[in-house]
Amino acid sequence: MSEKKLANEVAIVTGSDSESGWWTDAKHGSEGLRKAAIMNSTSKQTHEESLVQVPAGSVVLEGNLSIPVNAIGVVLFAHGSGSSRHSPRNRDVAETLQAAGLATLLIDLLTAEEEAVDSRTKKLRFDIALLRDRLISAIDWLTQNPNTRDLPIGCFGASTGAAGALMAAAERPEIVHAVVSRGGRPDLAEPVLDRVQAPTLLIVGGNDPSVIDLNQQTMAHLLCEKQLEIVPNATHLFEEPGALSEVARLAGLWFQRHLLPPKELGPHLTSLDEEGNREEL
């Protein structure tokens, strides 16, 4: 794994050590590359998965909540345009996060009736205020649910869902501790970007020039800790071999780093020191 810094906050990822089971991280630039691994990555991690119903104003949203053993945080997924909680890309990312010790909530942001309307008009998917309000309801639900109320919360948004996630983070600054956008339209949240406090990672495909431009514009408006990662040769949906795995790896590292201080991660995360010896963070 190697990466090339374009600026202080922009990196092009050029490889991965995922085949060896290690996640690679760049820390503070001058310190070079670190390697991080989930100690139980070689074994199947047991977790509970349940269908949940989340009240959101006058409607009830359905979601899938998965909680691995000894979860260190929970990530709320905001799906993109014309998608749902059954998005195979988001589910693939969620499985990786679960293996990293993170609970996940994949939720439908529209009801079945609203999806039927949106499939014809394509208007509700761009109603960012509606997506924001639905995500805020889900965030509040996570803080009240007995199984998740003690877990720090992060948001993972795709396409228009990324804008909704950033707007929700701006409204819940003390609750949302990290945001990750995959091929997102964070520019649609421009009116509140300067209010976002959660560390924000923007991931874009290298062959998605228009979205790269929009994300670069977003970087200029964000005042929080922020980073733009460009995955080479990946298009908007990250359908190329290894592209989505790289998204999941980058997202996992970001959430692990920001949902809990390293010293509190306990046995979930280990690293290699300067001499190559494995040590617990």
pLDDT digits (tens, 9 = 90+) for 68-113: 999 999 999 998 666 667 778 888 899 999 999 999 999 989 888 8
Per-residue model confidence as pLDDT tens digits over 27-79: 332 222 233 333 333 334 456 689 999 999 999 999 999 999 999 999 999 98
Q: What is the sign of the dihedral through the CA atoms of 182, 187, 190 and 193? A: positive
Answer yes or no: is pLDDT of 167 > 50: yes
Position 46 scores a pLDDT of 54
Of the given ranges (76-85, 129-138, 219-228), which has the lowest mean pLDDT?
76-85
| Strand, coil or helix: 191 | helix
- The confidence score (pLDDT) of residue 44 equals 43
Nearest-angstrom CA–CA distance, 43 and 66: 17
User: What is the average per-residue pLDDT within 185-208?
Assistant: 97
Predicted local confidence at residue 84, as pLDDT: 65
The answer, yes or no, to whether residue 273 has pLDDT greater than 90, is no
pLDDT at residue number 83: 60
* Higher pLDDT, residue 37 or 174: 174
Does domain 50-233+243-260 correspond to CATH entry 3.40.50.11890?
no
**What 3-state DSSP class applies to 225?**
coil
Per the listing, tokens 């803080």 go with: 143
User: Which residue(s) pair with 20 in the sheet?
Assistant: none
**Alpha-carbon radius of gyration of the chain:** 18
What are the domain boundaries of the chain? Answer: 50-233+243-260
What pLDDT score does 269 carry? Answer: 44
Specify the pLDDT at position 38: 37
Tell me which range, 1-15, 40-54, 125-139, 165-179, is most confidently predicted by mean pLDDT.
165-179
pTM: 0.79
* Whole-number Cα distances in Å, 185 to 36, 72, 111, 159, 218: 30, 28, 22, 5, 9
pLDDT recorded at residue 41: 39
Predicted local confidence at residue 27, as pLDDT: 36
What average pLDDT does the chain have? 80
Sign of CA dihedral 201, 206, 207, 209: positive
Task: Give the three-class secondary structure for 39.
Answer: coil
Percent of the chain with pLDDT over 70: 74
Q: What does the pLDDT read at residue 264?
A: 52
What are the structure tokens assigned to 8, written together? 């202080």
Q: Is the pLDDT of residue 9 over 90?
A: no
State how far the Cα of 226 lies from the Cα of 161, in Å rounded to an integer: 18
Q: Which residues touch 154 (CB under 8 Å, ≥6 apart)?
A: 73, 74, 75, 76, 102, 176, 177, 178, 179, 180, 198, 255, 258, 259
Q: Token digits for 122?
A: 């394509």
pLDDT the model gives residue 18: 36
pLDDT at 82: 60
